[in-house]
Chain A
């Protein structure tokens, strides 16, 4: 655990990619194969099963630290990370330990077989034998969510340095639903064939936001499609089974049972990249419809009928068992078209049609139709481009429509947590309604650090009233709030709920009297809801 903690510290302290990569590469050459594999697993979002609830951990930590529960909770809300809070409030360890990362993970796994008292004893003993960073990491393993600013790309680069294997091959090897319990370092990293695992997806290719047409060359070199507003998904048909992966490498197969029938129509050795969309009567439904199905592990019949989904296919990565990602886009799409054409109309698969255009101005006109089609904008893909992995400039561009906006008045402020623990960053906004102000959304991103600091100083000086951590402030500052969608919501006083609200800019030029009204908000709901 000491070497893992040292690795973590080196990565966590540095902002330089080269330092992080070197730290990882060193570690991949010196740690035990088991520890290496677990490290890759943890840094790519694979963690041991949770064997203890967060509630129990909080209780035990508060008890050992001699704190009332409310004070522990207050501390947690400011620190923003449960494992860190626990590591900080506990008294210093009285014992020492030289066990490996794998040892502690094994300890955590065996806890599930024990009764509550034995679990507690095991956890308390671990806390009492691990100093600061190791204690934090151990607790992090218990609570899950191991994001520490290491991208999959960085892991792959470090692995390439340590093993001498090419990066693209390693990227592919790390995809899919392996865990250290189902594979070994030798099998996963050192074995040759990345498709040995039938469910393993290809790395997704991601686009940058378009910043102009000047460098694109001739319009004829490009294929335009709608940018659909759903969930990116990769459908794999291999060995008579189907698998659906999200971009975040979540296996979504069971959440969308509709796609099971596709294995009857698509041949083995087919991998399609597309968008999972709620879809009825040959048109996409709004994202709100799909939202009901996100996060549900199983789907009741009623919901299946209310929000049926399709895969809007836009690329073919594997055809007849062959990886065709290096083929030109136009060839891949032709093959995809052939596959879609042979599935019946009732099957949940459509080809994302090309948007015809001669000039960039045509495209602009087409883009203006996006909202009516429940699309987020356009995608531009170079006709002769291969399917790359990760976010790359040059061949794929997204051209999103501008968000909806409304000018609102800040009425409450609350301190952030984690990185923003000592700044007021979470605000509640209101629209005007006669002489009243009606709160309708919260937002906490979009301003610069300098602006957050300025507002923090202002909030400190201008607090009217405190409600626990929330401060009421004078209705003085107007902000332009951007959002992606709006829907009716009986749970909110204003009657609306926004999708992905954020602060676009601080309108210092606008007095409160010029902020938008509840009627303006209702009009947006009527138009776009």
Chain B
């Protein structure tokens, strides 16, 4: 049987439906898993994404030809039946299921398997072939449970507030920042946000996501006007003059990479919270098993290790070269708008 999806230098391609999934070069028709800049890129003829992803794509890509689809709805494109299913990565994110003549392939995009209190929880989709990320595909990555994470961040914030320090927390503008907003206890103090984060907050609030009250940092706002505040900033804003206005401060960074002491120290923040929008080792393995797939394609992350591990487990496992970044604070999505 012919492959449902093929891997080209433009992106993941479906010959039966003549469309691409998360392409990185301009194509006529693009199906998009989620709004991060390495997956939703400008320049496509027309786009198809979930209802939940559409607003942030419009916000980031401007005027585009964009059709939307709710989770679970099946749409026929050429000879392919296509549907989108929650990936649990960020609000609106999807895995894309493509069925051609009874053969089912699923593209995971980016995903995580634990509920974060904000994103639609990950749903395993049975398939023959599963195209998975493996950003954190090593057994050293185990995420802190959500309740312990909440306690860690709240304790840090409360201790800083009591000591007269501002708490500055670095996180990506789309997804991570809002997840943290949904995690912290807003009774501890005021929450201030960097512009890039506040713009995304507005988009998500418009969609009906309940986020605690936040205040955009503007010219007059400092630690004097908002003592004991939690400041949510993009990673690139940490350590800049923008961050220095908040007086004595403790800085923290929220990322899956914070699980590694070396990376935590290189980041030179006072604290590192282990929190990721990607699946950890156990999450990846559970998700793959739940699909029932026998063929696995690893796209980005620790691909060579993960492929060998999967092959050891009896999967028909392959590595696919793509232009996706996963979670790298060393990369461009650090400065995404």
Contacts and interface: CB of A to CB of B under 8 A. Distances in A.
Most buried by A among B140, B328, B332: B140
Given A15-B268, A75-B139, A457-B331, A84 B261 contact: yes
B328 A14 contact: no
Contact of A13 (B257, B270, B308): B270
Given A74-B138, A85-B140, A417 B259 contact: no
A71 B305 contact: yes
Given A88-B142, A149-B265, A461-B323, 6 more contacts: A72-B139, A75-B140, A84-B260, A419-B266, A421-B260, A457-B332
A193 interface: no
Contacts of B210: none
Nearest to B261: A84
B309 A71 contact: yes
Interface in A449-502: 449, 453, 456-457, 461, 463, 466, 468-469
Closest 7 CB pairs of A and B: A418-B262, A419-B262, A88-B140, A419-B266, A74-B305, A453-B330, A89-B139
B147 interface: no
A79 B140 contact: yes
A9 B139 CA distance: 23
15 contacts: A13-B271, A13-B272, A14-B270, A65-B139, A71-B305, A78-B302, A79-B140, A79-B260, A79-B262, A88-B141, A88-B142, A89-B140, A420-B266, A422-B257, A422-B330
A463 B322 CA distance: 12
A509 B301 CA distance: 32
Interface residues of B, number: 30
B304 A468 contact: yes
A469 B312 CA distance: 18
Contact of B139 (A71, A80, A149, A461): A71
Contacts of B115: none
Nearest to A72: B139
A285 interface: no
Interface in A12-31: 12-15
A468 B304 CA distance: 7
A71 B311 CA distance: 12
Interface string B124-145: 0000000000000011111000
Nearest to B329: A422
B261 A70 contact: no
B131 to A, nearest CB: 18
Contacts of B271: 13
Most buried by A among B142, B260, B302, B331: B260
Most buried by A among B261, B263, B308, B323: B261
B308 A70 contact: yes
Contacts of A74: 138, 302, 305
A67 interface: yes
Contacts of B262: 79-81, 417-421
B139 to A, nearest CB: 5
A1 interface: no
B114 to A, nearest CB: 16
Contacts of A466: 304
Contacts of A453: 330-331
B160 to A, nearest CB: 13
A7 to B, nearest CB: 16
Contacts of A421: 257, 260, 262-263
A422 B140 contact: no
Contacts of B302: 74, 78
Nearest to A83: B261
A23 B179 CA distance: 33
Interface of A: 12-15, 65, 67-68, 70-72, 74-75, 78-81, 84-85, 88-89, 149, 417-423, 449, 453, 456-457, 461, 463, 466, 468-469
Interface string B171-210: 0000000000000000000000000000000000000000
Contacts, number: 74
Contacts of B308: 70-71
Contact of A419 (B265, B309, B321): B265
Given A13-B271, A89-B140, A420-B262, A456 B304 contact: no
A227 B327 CA distance: 48
A74 B308 CA distance: 11
A81 B261 contact: yes
Contact of B330 (A12, A68, A78, A423): A423
A194 to B, nearest CB: 34
A78 B304 contact: no
Contacts of B323: 461
Nearest to A452: B330
Interface in B262-287: 262-266, 268, 270-272
B29 to A, nearest CB: 24
Contacts of A80: 262
A95 B277 CA distance: 31
B141 to A, nearest CB: 8
Contact of B259 (A15, A81, A88, A423): A88
A12 B265 contact: yes
Nearest to B319: A466
Interface in B291-322: 302, 304-305, 308-309, 312, 321
A81 B264 CA distance: 14
Contacts of B264: 13
Contacts of A449: 266
Contacts of B328: 422
B155 to A, nearest CB: 13
Contacts of B140: 75, 78-79, 85, 88-89
B318 to A, nearest CB: 13
Given A15-B270, A453-B330, A469-B304, A78 B138 contact: yes
A88 B262 CA distance: 13
Nearest to A84: B261
A452 B191 CA distance: 34
A463 B139 CA distance: 25
Given A420-B266, A468-B304, A67 B139 contact: yes
Contacts of B260: 79, 84, 418, 421
Contacts of A419: 262-263, 265-266
A149 B266 CA distance: 12
Contacts of B332: 457
A421 B272 CA distance: 16
Contacts of B309: 71
B215 to A, nearest CB: 28
A55 B196 CA distance: 49
Contacts of A469: 304
Nearest to B257: A422
A420 B329 CA distance: 12
A305 to B, nearest CB: 45
A65 B309 CA distance: 14
Nearest to A76: B140
